[in-house]
């Protein structure tokens, strides 16, 4: 299927510095970074507040991560708003709703039912906001700059999540959770301001009425193509199963869980930097399969319970394997018509987030039956199996993507 892109000419510089000197990308990136930091602060503060009030580990976990599960609601209903004629206005409205929701969480005495209701709304607008931002991104950077742009955003996301969580922990030593939530609302307000000042209106698709019918029509188009189905499968399932492995770090070895999680995050940032910035596009496509194997194979070592140093090295390498998403996202973009790129990227992001939740739930169930080490090994083996069995379909999709670009 032809890819009617609105991106700038391919000759535009695509290095990190060159991208950040592009006003449109710089504004989208800055707004995204502020949003990530705000979400990290808000999640920790809300989890602390709910934990202190209820003493329930389950409700605490849901309050911290429940918004991610609500992203699928946006994917199933109004994702088509991402490809409208006024994506900037849409993004401003969604940022405004997110700001109002975060500010509402800062209100003292808000009932728990109200807080969880706000979480659902925040997850819903988060999925639509991601889709709209990615649609604007695909239109603002050249095709050759898409992977470096996503790489830079991934690095910022990982780094700011760690810094936001650490900063939130420090703030909670001095302030009550409601005031930390107010700080998060302030960051959300800055993000909204950056979009208002720095992002231009850039129509992505033809005039059409967004809504449930339009969303499902595009979903039908998306999943009708075997190449896009194969790419989505590989963007969702292997990653989700490996996130399930990570979810078992605490029960596997509580005293080493922090080190293991940090090693995965460091590996992810290094992988995104190398694959997104230093590896040429052609080689990046060829590395997609070995990177997907690297994502899961090191977790097979958990069955042997090796020394901590070996496990740290293994999960660092596995974290680098997450960079396989970059070439797969490039291929998905190349196989997607320009008029629905925002929605398709939103579906990809929402599905990946949902599968991470599925992987964590599956990991917990398997650990109850088999023990943590065995459960991690089983999930890793399943991830490898999906990658290997779907390789022919992904290879065909890659050839189709290369033909659409040429």
Model pLDDT for residues 247-283, shown as the tens digit of each residue: 888 788 877 877 888 888 889 999 999 998 888 888 9
Using alpha carbons only, give the angle 347, 58, 348 rounded to the nearest 5 degrees: 10
Indicate if the pLDDT at residue 405 is higher than 70: no
Q: How confident is the model at residue 404 (pLDDT cuts 50, 70, 90)?
A: low
Which pLDDT score is estimated for 5?
Answer: 38
Q: Which of 15-29, 332-346, 368-382 has the lowest mean pLDDT?
A: 332-346
Indicate if the pLDDT at residue 166 is higher than 50: yes
Domain at 1-217, CATH class:
mainly alpha
Outline where 199-247 has alpha helix (H). 212-224, 226-247
Which pLDDT score is estimated for 146?
Answer: 85
Rounded Cα–Cα distance for residues 309 and 176 (Å): 38
Q: How confident is the model at residue 8 (pLDDT cuts 50, 70, 90)?
A: very low
Rounded Cα–Cα distance for residues 331 and 231 (Å): 8
C-alpha neighbours within 13 Å on the C-beta side of residue 35: 28
Model pLDDT for residues 58-113, shown as the tens digit of each residue: 677 667 666 777 777 777 777 777 777 788 999 999 999 999 999 999 999 899 99
Q: Which of 2-11, 116-125, 175-184, 194-203 has the lowest mean pLDDT?
A: 2-11
Which pLDDT score is estimated for 392?
Answer: 92
Q: Which of 217-221, 223-227, 273-277 has the lowest mean pLDDT?
A: 217-221
Domain with CATH 1.20.1250.20 in the chain: 1-217, 225-406
Long-range contacts of 96-99 (CB under 8 A, 24+ apart): 96/192, 97/121, 97/125, 98/35, 98/122, 98/125, 98/126, 98/129, 98/188, 99/185, 99/188, 99/189, 99/192
8 Å CB contact between 377 and 299: yes
Give me the sign of the Cα torsion angle 35, 40, 45, 51.
positive
User: How large is the average pLDDT for residues 392-400?
Assistant: 84
Which pLDDT score is estimated for 402?
Answer: 65
Indicate if the pLDDT at residue 319 is higher than 90: yes
Which pLDDT score is estimated for 29?
Answer: 94
Model pLDDT for residues 20-70, shown as the tens digit of each residue: 888 889 999 999 999 999 988 898 888 889 888 888 756 776 676 667 777
Q: How confident is the model at residue 14 (pLDDT cuts 50, 70, 90)?
A: low
Indicate if the pLDDT at residue 211 is higher than 70: no
The model carries a pTM of 0.76
Indicate if the pLDDT at residue 206 is higher than 60: no
Indicate if the pLDDT at residue 401 is higher than 60: yes
Q: Which of 159-168, 290-299, 367-376, 386-395 has the lowest mean pLDDT?
A: 159-168
Indicate if the pLDDT at residue 4 is higher than 70: no
Q: What percent of the chain has a predicted confidence (pLDDT) above 70?
A: 90
Q: Which residue has the tokens 């390789």?
A: 391
Q: How confident is the model at residue 11 (pLDDT cuts 50, 70, 90)?
A: very low
Fold of the domain built from segment(s) 225-406:
Growth Hormone; Chain: A; (1.20.1250)
Number of separate helices (H) and strands (E) present in the chain: 18, 0
User: How large is the average pLDDT for residues 189-217?
Assistant: 78
Residue of 156, 93, 164 whose CA lies nearest to 129: 93
Which pLDDT score is estimated for 1?
Answer: 38
8 Å CB contact between 339 and 222: no
Q: Which residue has the tokens 């109002």?
A: 100
Q: How confident is the model at residue 288 (pLDDT cuts 50, 70, 90)?
A: very high
Which tokens hold the place of 394? 């992904």
């Amino acid at each position: 299927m032809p890819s009617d892109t609105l991106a700038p000419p391919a000759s535009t510089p695509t290095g990190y510095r060159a991208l950040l000197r592009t006003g449109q990308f710089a504004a989208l990136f800055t707004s995204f970074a502020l949003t990530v930091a705000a979400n990290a602060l808000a999640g920790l503060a809300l989890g602390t507040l709910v934990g202190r009030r209820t003493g329930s580990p389950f409700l605490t976990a849901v309050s911290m991560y429940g918004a991610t599960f609500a992203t699928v609601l946006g994917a199933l209903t109004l994702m088509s708003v991402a490809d409208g004629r006024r994506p900037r206005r849409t993004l401003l409205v969604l940022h405004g709703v997110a700001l109002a929701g975060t500010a509402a969480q800062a209100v003292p005495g808000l009932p728990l039912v109200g807080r969880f209701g706000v979480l659902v709304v925040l997850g819903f607008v988060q999925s639509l906001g991601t889709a709209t931002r990615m649609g604007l991104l695909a239109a603002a950077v050249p095709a050759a700059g898409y992977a470096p742009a996503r790489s830079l955003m991934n690095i910022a996301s990982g780094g700011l999540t760690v810094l936001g969580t650490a900063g939130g922990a420090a703030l909670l030593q001095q302030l009550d959770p409601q005031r930390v939530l107010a700080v998060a609302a302030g960051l959300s307000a800055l993000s909204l301001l950056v979009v208002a000042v720095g992002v231009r209106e850039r129509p992505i698709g033809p005039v059409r009425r967004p809504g449930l019918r339009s969303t499902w029509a595009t979903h039908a188009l998306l999943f009708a193509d075997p190449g896009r189905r194969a790419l989505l499968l590989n963007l969702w399932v292997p990653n989700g199963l490996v996130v399930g492995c990570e979810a078992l770090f605490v029960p596997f070895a509580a005293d080493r869980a922090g080190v293991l999680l940090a090693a995965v995050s460091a590996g992810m940032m290094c992988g995104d930097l190398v694959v997104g910035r230093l590896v040429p596009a052609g080689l990046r496509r060829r590395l997609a399969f070995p990177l997907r194997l690297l994502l899961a194979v090191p977790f097979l070592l958990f069955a042997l319970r090796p020394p901590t140093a070996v496990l740290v090295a293994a999960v660092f390498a596995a974290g680098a394997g997450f960079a396989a998403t970059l070439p797969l996202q490039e291929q998905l973009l190349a196989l997607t018509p320009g008029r629905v790129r925002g929605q398709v990227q939103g579906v990809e992001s929402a599905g990946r987030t949902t599968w991470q939740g599925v992987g964590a739930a599956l990991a917990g169930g398997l650990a109850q039956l088999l023990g943590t080490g065995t459960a991690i090994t089983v999930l890793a083996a399943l991830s490898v199996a999906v990658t290997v069995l779907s390789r022919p379909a992904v290879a065909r999709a890659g050839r189709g993507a290369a033909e659409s670009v040429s």
